[in-house]
């Protein structure tokens, strides 16, 4: 059954519905809690984890950690779970009549792997072809950052960025490539520091091989300034 309020359901993007794509029941009140309630609850949970690991939370350096981690989760690294933080990417008329693709490349991605809660760090490259509207350049970076600031898998992040830009720009002609390192692969488990993960989503005209190639060639350009 499709959960109407599915936060990570890629079909629900554009709605500010909240929920989960897993079969795990939601904590019923999770999205009605105030920020400060969430911080207090997470703080107690982090304290519990650290104490279970045998750490002394009376230690000067550790005593503030539960509060720091809770604030960091709610306000920063998982801030993209708050629909109020969704960027307001207002569009304006393409008065320049610019008809080629626009590429915003090397957008920094800081995200968190939802399997291990370890960082995902990399670059996103986003492109669109205007159907009449254009969007401020920085809004593309902001949209990437908003969806990145959630527990994520890279595939879903890539699709969410494309869907959101398609909705904002009212065109299917949007593409995104992400190249990122997953610290769960690089620093633990298989500990392969060299490997990175590339994902892509090509909508509309970007499904055409030539258009796709042009986008990929722009990504390879070295920016000189």
- Interface with ligand GTP, residue 115, by CB under 6 A: yes
Output the smallest distance, CB 49 to Zn ion, in A.
Answer: 18
- Nearer Cβ to ligand GTP (154/171): 154
DSSP string, 155-191: HHHHHHHHHHHHHHHT-S-EEEEEEEEEHHHHTSTT-
Contact 57, 44 (CB under 8 A): no
- Interface with ligand GTP, residue 102, by CB under 6 A: no
- Nearer Cβ to Zn ion (102/184): 184
* Residue of minimal Cβ distance to Zn ion: 184
DSSP string, 21-57: SSSSPPPTTTTTS-HHHHHHHHHHHHHHHHHHTT--T
Output the smallest distance, CB 118 to ligand GTP, in A.
Answer: 8
- Interface with Zn ion, residue 213, by CB under 5 A: no
Known binding residues for Zn(2+) are 113, 116, 184
Output the smallest distance, CB 88 to ligand GTP, in A.
Answer: 28
| Total site size for ligand GTP, rule CB under 6 A | 10
What is the C-alpha to C-alpha distance for residues 148 and 151, in angstroms, rounded to an integer? 8
């Amino acid at each position: 059954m499709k959960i109407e309020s599915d936060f990570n359901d890629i079909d629900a993007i554009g709605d500010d519905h909240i929920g989960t794509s897993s079969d795990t029941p939601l904590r019923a009140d999770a999205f009605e809690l105030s920020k400060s309630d969430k911080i207090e609850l997470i703080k107690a949970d982090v304290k519990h984890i650290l104490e279970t690991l045998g750490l002394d939370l009376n230690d000067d350096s550790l005593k503030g950690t539960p509060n720091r981690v809770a604030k960091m989760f709610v306000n920063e690294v998982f801030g993209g779970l708050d629909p109020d933080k969704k960027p307001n990417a207002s569009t304006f008329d393409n008065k320049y009549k610019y008809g080629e693709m626009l590429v915003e490349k090397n957008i920094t991605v800081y995200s968190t792997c939802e399997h291990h809660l370890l960082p995902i760090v990399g670059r996103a490259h986003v492109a669109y072809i205007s159907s009449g509207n254009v969007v401020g350049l920085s809004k593309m970076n902001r949209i990437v950052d908003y969806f990145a600031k959630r527990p994520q898998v890279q595939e879903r992040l890539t699709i969410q960025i494309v869907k959101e830009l398609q909705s904002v720009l009212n065109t299917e002609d949007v593409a995104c490539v992400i190249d990122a390192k997953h610290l769960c692969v690089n620093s633990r488990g298989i500990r392969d520091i060299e490997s990175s993960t590339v994902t892509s989503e090509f909508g509309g005209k970007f499904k055409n091989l030539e258009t796709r190639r042009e986008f990929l060639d722009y990504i390879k350009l070295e920016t000189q300034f």
